[in-house]
């Protein structure tokens, strides 16, 4: 093991005595190259948690520009950074581009000062900064926290000789492939469990629990028969569907906890929990008057097809315009509706509401028109009990596997940190 020295940077700690320390701007320069009329000559790129990827120019996801003339050119072996809203720890921050293409002008680009500069080792170091939330801590407090190119040029980076950089990067590449393969395998198992859970829910809310009861045609070809004594209705017949609303700007209406009304956000949901029991923020009563009030026992879901599971409210509160609410339930309980909304039968109906089968947003009319099968109350109770038990078993297995993924990801983060700071030597 090499003799170590203090780097002078708290989060880096000690580095090998033979390594130097540089500033990022010593080897890379900030540059912005707007495409202008040449934008048609380039593919579109995007910075993701999986690095820089190609993205179709007509991709409908997220905000879309009318034209790409204002986009900047990102060239191969350049770094790209997204250094805004640094309090959001779950978004991508840094990428080393394997392509030349167009990216948003909001990104910060750094190009090597020397043609052919080896960048992979430095990329792993910058990723280690991301994994250790260094960017977030440097950006200051508040939603608007950000770093600029000058801030980034001042990053201190341990810099071993070129041969050592190549050895470290190659070793991390190999280890990362192994870890990523393990994570992908466990994630595939999780997806199978989730698919099984949805198929189980779908089977029970369309066929019931007793296979011996007389059946009738559901009127839906791929569903086939349902129990003869079940009612067929539209969701609008058994619930009132409301769109959320928000006061603008919301920051003007936020108040201290205990002084206003609950403001329910996506962040108040807990994975694997069907109930929302508390909120992180409250709005004033004036803000609540301009919002959509919802009440204990109502169901809410986001108005896009990525909504995932619906949630049952265990509190009163207000929702913003990203939510839809199902209130005043009739002939079905909130727990039965909760499971029905997770069925593939319900999902496919939502999907078919939009031309071309690509759902951008749901609205109250689309949800209201969907078909629901309504068993008698005692059967609903039995179905709920059955699904509570079965789904909790599946969710426990999913939680175990998600914990395994977290351990693997932590191992990957630790591995990268220890090698790029020289605390471990490449064998």
pLDDT, residue 305, reads: 55
pLDDT, residue 140, reads: 61
What is the C-alpha to C-alpha distance for residues 100 and 247, in angstroms, rounded to an integer? 42
- In sequence order, which residues have a C-beta less than 8 Å from that of residue 29 and are 6 or more positions away? 110, 111, 112, 113
Range(s) within the chain of domains with CATH label 3.90.220.20:
4-160, 190-397
pLDDT, residue 67, reads: 84
What token pair was written down for 2? 């090499």
- Choosing among 3.90.220.20, 3.60.15.10, 3.40.50.620, 3.20.10.10, the CATH entry for 4-160 is 3.90.220.20
The CATH architecture to which 190-397 belongs is: Alpha-Beta Complex (3.90)
What is the phi/psi pair of residue 179, to 5°?
-65, -45
348-352 contacts, C-beta under 8 A, 24 or more apart = 350/305, 351/305
- In sequence order, which residues have a C-beta less than 8 Å from that of residue 129 and are 6 or more positions away? 11, 94, 135, 155
* Predicted TM-score of the model (pTM): 0.83
Tens-place pLDDT, residues 216-233: 999 888 899 999 999 999
pLDDT, residue 359, reads: 46
pLDDT, residue 276, reads: 93
Q: Considering only CA atoms, which of 426, 414, 427, 417 is closest in space to residue 13?
A: 417
pLDDT, residue 308, reads: 56
pLDDT, residue 355, reads: 44
Residues of the chain with pLDDT under 50: 143, 355-359
Return the number of other C-beta atoms located less than 10 Å from residue 385's C-beta: 12
């Amino acid at each position: 093991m090499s003799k170590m020295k203090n780097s002078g940077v708290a989060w880096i700690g000690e580095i090998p005595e033979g390594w130097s320390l540089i500033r990022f701007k010593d080897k890379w320069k900030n540059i912005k190259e707007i495409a202008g009329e040449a934008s048609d000559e380039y593919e579109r790129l995007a910075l993701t948690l999986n690095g820089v990827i190609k993205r179709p120019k007509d991709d409908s996801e997220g905000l879309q520009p009318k034209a790409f003339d204002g986009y900047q050119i990102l060239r191969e072996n350049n770094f790209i950074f997204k250094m805004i809203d640094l309090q959001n720890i779950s978004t991508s921050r840094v990428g080393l581009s394997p392509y030349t293409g167009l990216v948003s002008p909001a990104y910060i680009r750094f190009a090597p000062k020397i043609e052919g500069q080896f960048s992979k080792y430095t990329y792993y170091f910058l990723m280690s900064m991301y994994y250790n939330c260094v960017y977030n801590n440097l950006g200051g407090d508040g939603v608007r926290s950000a770093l600029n190119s000058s801030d980034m040029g001042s990053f201190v980076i341990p810099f071993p000789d070129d041969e050592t950089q190549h050895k470290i990067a190659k070793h991390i590449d190999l280890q990362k492939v192994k870890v990523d393969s393990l994570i992908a395998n466990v994630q595939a198992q999780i997806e199978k469990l989730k698919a099984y859970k949805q198929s189980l829910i779908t089977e029970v809310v369309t066929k019931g629990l007793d296979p011996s009861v007389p059946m009738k045609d559901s009127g839906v070809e791929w569903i086939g028969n349902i129990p003869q004594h079940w009612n067929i209705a539209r969701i609008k017949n058994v619930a009132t569907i409301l769109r959320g609303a928000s006061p603008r700007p919301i920051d003007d209406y936020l108040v201290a906890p205990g002084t206003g009304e609950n403001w329910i956000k996506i962040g108040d949901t807990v994975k694997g929990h069907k109930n929302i029991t508390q909120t992180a923020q409250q709005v004033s009563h004036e803000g609540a008057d301009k919002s959509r009030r919802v009440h204990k026992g109502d169901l809410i879901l986001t108005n896009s097809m990525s909504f995932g599971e619906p949630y049952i409210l265990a509190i009163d509160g207000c929702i913003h315009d990203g939510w839809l609410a199902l209130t005043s339930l009739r002939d079905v309980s909130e727990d039965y509706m909760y499971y029905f909304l997770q069925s593939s039968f319900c999902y496919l109906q939502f999907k078919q509401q939009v031309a071309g089968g690509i759902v951008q947003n749901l609205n109250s009319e689309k949800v209201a028109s969907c078909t629901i099968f309504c068993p008698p109350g005692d059967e609903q109770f039995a179905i709920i009990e059955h699904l509570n038990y079965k789904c909790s078993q599946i969710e426990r297995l999913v939680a175990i596997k998600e914990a395994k993924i977290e351990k693997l990801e932590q191992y990957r983060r630790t591995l990268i940190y220890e090698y790029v700071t020289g605390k471990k030597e490449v064998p």
